[in-house]
Chains A and B, each alone.
Chain A
Amino acid sequence: NAGVTQTPKFQVLKTGQSMTLQCAQDMNHEYMSWYRQDPGMGLRLIHYSVGAGITDQGEVPNGYNVSRSTTEDFPLRLLSAAPSQTSVYFCASSYGRTSYEQYFGPGTRLTVT
């Protein structure tokens, strides 16, 4: 199993550009989440999904969209990039039910100039 994969690893955008961060998992996990990590602030939840076709907002959803058309994939879309979105983005998945552990992807480092 590859676990949780994310692409790209690094990305530089100009203000106003849009892009999609990709996340995929091959563990048949129902639950997937997107976090952003900023220095001194821990990880903050952007959006999450409890299954295909079901998504909801987390703590910091503004400026981001998600969709979950399959169990495996959970892309994060930046609609119009802003410098405040410069961060490291982590995707995570978990089986749920009796197994609570969240598995994180390797992260995407995004810089918006």
Chain B
Amino acid sequence: DQQVKQNSPSLSVQEGRISILNCDYTNSMFDYFLWYKKYPAEGPTFLISISSIKDKNEDGRFTVFLNKSAKHLSLHIVPSQPGDSAVYFCAARNSGGSNYKLTFGKGTLLTVNP
């Protein structure tokens, strides 16, 4: 029972264009969402997060959008750079339940071509 789904295993974009990575969740109790980036041979590194009281959070080139009614969030990277090539994981938490547990998606491999 996959509660966090990243349905695109991979995405390829040209340098300078927008990258849009999508994530869907099924548990309506999730109220805090995070995106992690993972390079090969490294652990995931935190990128950006959003609380369910917001619908948008922006940090430089990275913006996360949350659509609670659709149980969908997306990560926008503008402009995309070759160094952004990595696996991106979406993660979700139910803050009212266990404050600790993150539920991850399977990840999307982003390739940014020069």
- A and B found bound together: no
**Which A residues lie at the B interface, using CB under 8 A?**
none
**Which B residues lie at the A interface, using CB under 8 A?**
none
